[in-house]
């Protein structure tokens, strides 16, 4: 039994299947107690529990929001109690838990957390290069730790594509090393309902969890489970089990997220509806990759590397990341009108924008010790994102996510460009058979025609850019030209990091482009009492033919009564008499000369 007081509420919590799920009672003073089952780790469950208490006893629990804030504090207290109990259990069992000091955690969580984590994981996992992909997978995995927004997950799900042997599993394996065990669920195969039965035995199994299957084939039977989990953070399945009396009994199984998923695969596409929920990231090949990867492997055989123990740094990272879960909300400081993805040419733009902002929010969450923490109206704390978080997300998105905007890789574009150039060089070929795979590979600069053959099905069937000629070989579909697969304008419509910095880090609301001298500023609808020094004393437009009286200031609506005075020659010229022989009357105001015509 756990007791907890948050004035004026007094709680008694009896844990059930897990430390955060159980029976909870609350009283205020001499009031009748209200009790019901609750999942303290679920903000939705806490909200429903508080609303029900207010509905049944409105005089006792006048403000449901106050009660919900108290439940949030109770959850923090229960989690702390759980940590203490686990540590005591480990100590009694003779297990010596690695001691991680607050100073060590603070050092890891100084500004630059993502870069520091990625370098440590790359060192521990012997990863050569591939830093953008390691950062992407890390942010995707850790984005599962964010709280839901409007009952919708904020995490980023990633399809990591590439040729066989490219390192699609190597990168996620490295990223997962420094995460606490409860952060990650890795598996190689699963039956269709396996998630439901695991969650039934342990309701917290998939809560704030990064799901990492070894290959896309491991998820083929999980599609119906993953869709709702990725869209709304939970899934429900109805089944029939044997009842206590031997008959059939209906039972509802639930999986509570949120989760994020990273799927490494050689496939160009996943199941249609599942694909739209993922950010597609292709691990592109580059010159010298094979040499770099093989040398890195050989390096792991050196005596110094073999003797090096990475356990200490991994343990520190796991402890550091756990401390960040006390705050799971991240907010933006303001919402400028142009903070949006304005590109109607990308039909799935809202999902791309959500993924980009997920990177930003997760980076801010990692940097929470270096960010402003704000108390929200519901009593929870939130990290306030900075323009730097958006810059990191934007630059990373630009490097790795082009294929999510248009589902074409650099290899696909090279093949299409090669065929386009070949067709221009050989116009007759358009009416004859297509170009061979070997000739296309040579023109595209691709090593081996096997890669062209591997991409042929996608470019003909899914992308619809190529056709296979009846006499053999490949050609572009009629009318196809480079703009169809061009990638130079894929980020059009996204706010730039420079714009976001101006919006979020402006230090002055007014007078930011004015002079330093503001002592004579006045309301815009009030006239000057006298000329300002900066304007009238520094510029003299009079000439030698001007008289002293000409340049004297007068009210704007009063003419000069001296009709004989000449005007300044830079203002106007002396006009000849009018046709009736009379000189026109002239005058001068602050706005310039004028004349009366008889």
Tokens (6 digits) for 281: 């990231």
Check: CB of residue 357 under 8 Å from CB of residue 393. yes
Torsion angle, alpha carbons of 79, 81, 82, 84, to 10? 130
- For residue 592, name the pLDDT band (cuts at 50, 70, 90): low
Burial 186-224 (b: 16+ CB within 10 A, else e): eeeebeebebbebbbeebbbbbbbbbbbbbbebbeebee
Asked if residue 516 has pLDDT above 50, the reply is no
Find out whether 296 and 126 touch, Cβ atoms under 8 Å.
Answer: yes
Percent of the chain exceeding pLDDT 70 equals 76
pLDDT at 585: 54
Residue whose pair of structure tokens reads 């953070």 in the numeric block = 233
pLDDT of residue 581: 47
Q: Which two tokens stand for residue 396?
A: 């990373």
Quickly state the pLDDT bin for 243 (edges 50, 70, 90): low
User: What pLDDT sits at residue 532?
Assistant: 42
Which of 257, 279, 18 minimizes the C-alpha distance to 145?
257
Question: Going by C-beta distance under 8 Å and a sequence separation of 6 or more, which residues neighbour residue 490?
Answer: 402, 405, 406
If pLDDT is split at 50, 70 and 90, which confidence band does 482 have? confident
Predicted local confidence at residue 428, as pLDDT: 59
**Higher-scoring residue by pLDDT: 578, 369:** 369
What's the mean pLDDT in 36-57?
Answer: 84
CA–chain centroid gap for 523, Å, is 43
Kindly state the average pLDDT of the residues 41-55: 83
Minimum mean pLDDT range among 219-228, 488-497, 507-516 = 507-516
| Per-residue confidence band for 145, with pLDDT thresholds at 50, 70 and 90 | very high
Please state the pTM of the whole predicted model: 0.62
CA distances from 392 to 137, 358, 398 (A): 14, 12, 10
Residue 138 has pLDDT above 50, yes or no: yes
Give SS3 for 18.
coil
* pLDDT at residue number 333: 95
> CATH number of the domain at 410-484, please?
1.10.10
CA-based nearest residue to 389, from 355, 350, 354, 359: 359
Which tokens hold the place of 566? 């000449």
| Beta carbons of 251 and 240 less than 8 angstroms apart | yes
Residue 298 dihedral angles phi and psi, to the nearest 5°? -60, -35
The predicted pLDDT at position 538 comes to 45
- Which is the CATH superfamily of the domain at 103-286+309-405? P-loop containing nucleotide triphosphate hydrolases (3.40.50.300)
Range 268-285 average pLDDT: 76
With CA atoms as reference, report the closest residue to 487 among 308, 260, 271, 282: 282
CA atoms within 13 A on the CB side of 91: 7
For residue 458, is pLDDT > 90? Answer: no
Please report which confidence band the pLDDT of residue 590 belongs to, taking 50, 70 and 90 as the band edges: low
Q: How confident is the model at residue 455, as a pLDDT?
A: 82
Identity of the highest mean pLDDT range in 161-170, 445-454, 479-488: 161-170
Domain ranges of the chain: 2-92, 103-286+309-405, 410-484, 522-598
Which among 12, 27, 66, 2 is positioned nearest to 379, based on CA atoms? 66
- Say which residue, 58 or 107, is predicted with more confidence: 107
User: How far is the C-alpha of 102 from the C-alpha of 297, rounded, in Å?
Assistant: 35
Report how far apart, in Å, the C-alpha atoms of 50 and of each of 12, 59, 212, 257 are.
15, 13, 35, 21
pLDDT of 334 over the 90 cut? yes
- The whole-number average pLDDT for the span 513-533 is 45
Mean per-residue pLDDT of the chain: 80
pLDDT for 269 equals 67
Least-confidence region, from 84-88, 187-191, 329-333, 389-393: 84-88
pLDDT at 487: 64
Give the model's confidence band at 541: pLDDT under 50 very low, under 70 low, under 90 confident, else very high.
very low
């Amino acid at each position: 039994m756990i007791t907890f007081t948050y004035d004026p509420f007094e709680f008694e919590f009896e844990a059930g299947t897990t430390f955060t799920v159980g029976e909870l009672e609350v009283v205020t003073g001499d009031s009748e107690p209200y009790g019901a089952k609750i999942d303290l780790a679920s903000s939705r469950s806490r909200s429903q529990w508080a609303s029900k208490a207010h509905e049944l006893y409105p005089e006792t629990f006048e403000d449901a929001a106050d009660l919900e804030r108290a439940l949030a504090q109770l959850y923090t207290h229960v989690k702390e109690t759980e940590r203490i109990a686990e540590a005591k259990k480990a100590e009694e069992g003779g297990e010596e838990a690695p001691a991680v000091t607050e100073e060590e955690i603070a050092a890891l969580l100084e500004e630059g957390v993502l870069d520091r984590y990625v370098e440590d994981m790359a060192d521990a996992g012997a990863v050569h290069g591939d830093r953008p992909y390691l950062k992407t997978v890390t942010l995707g995995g850790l984005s599962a730790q964010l709280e839901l927004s409007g009952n919708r997950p904020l995490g980023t799900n990633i399809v990591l594509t590439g040729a066989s042997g490219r390192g699609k599993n190597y990168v996620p394996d490295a990223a997962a090393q420094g995460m606490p065990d409860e952060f990650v669920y890795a598996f190689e195969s699963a039956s269709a309902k396996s998630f439901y039965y695991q969650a039934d035995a342990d309701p917290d199994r998939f809560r704030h969890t990064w799901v990492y299957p070894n290959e896309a084939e491991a998820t083929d039977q999980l599609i119906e489970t993953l869709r709702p989990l990725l869209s709304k953070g939970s899934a429900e399945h109805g089944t029939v089990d044997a009842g206590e009396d031997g008959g059939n009994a209906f039972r509802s199984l639930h999986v509570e997220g949120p989760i994020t998923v990273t799927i490494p695969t050689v496939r160009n596409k996943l199941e249609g509806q599942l694909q739209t929920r993922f950010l597609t990231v292709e691990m592109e090949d580059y010159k010298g990759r094979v040499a770099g990867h093989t040398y890195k492997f050989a390096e792991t055989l050196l005596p110094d590397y073999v003797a090096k123990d990475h356990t200490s740094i991994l343990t520190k990272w796991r402890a550091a990341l756990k401390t960040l879960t006390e705050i799971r909300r991240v907010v933006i400081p303001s919402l400028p009108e142009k903070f949006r993805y304005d590109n109607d040419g990308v039909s799935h733009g809202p999902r791309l924008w959500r993924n980009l902002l997920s990177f930003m929010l997760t980076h801010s969450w990692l940097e929470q010790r270096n960010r402003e923490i704000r108390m929200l109206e519901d009593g929870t704390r939130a990290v306030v994102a900075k323009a730097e978080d958006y810059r990191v997300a934007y630059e990373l998105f630009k490097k790795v996510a082009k294929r999510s905007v248009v589902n074409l890789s650099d290899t696909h574009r090279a093949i299409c460009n090669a065929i386009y150039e070949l067709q221009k060089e050989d116009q007759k070929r358009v009416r004859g058979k297509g170009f061979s795979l070997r000739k296309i590979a040579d023109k595209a600069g691709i090593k081996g025609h096997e890669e062209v053959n591997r991409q042929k099905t996608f470019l003909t069937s899914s992308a619809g850019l190529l056709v296979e000629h009846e006499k053999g070989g490949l050609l572009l579909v009629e009318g196809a030209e480079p703009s169809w697969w061009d990638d130079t304008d894929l980020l059009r419509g996204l706010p730039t990091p420079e714009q976001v910095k101006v919006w979020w880090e402006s230090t002055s609301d007014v007078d930011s482009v004015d002079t330093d001298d503001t002592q004579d500023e006045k309301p815009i609808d009030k006239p000057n009492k006298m000329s300002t020094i900066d304007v009238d004393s520094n510029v003299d437009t009079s000439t030698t033919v001007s008289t002293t009286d000409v340049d004297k200031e007068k009210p704007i609506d009063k003419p000069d009564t001296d009709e004989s005075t000449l005007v300044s020659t830079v203002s106007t010229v002396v006009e000849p008499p009018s046709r009736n022989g009379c000189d026109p009357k002239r005058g001068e105001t602050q706005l310039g000369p004028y004349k009366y015509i008889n």
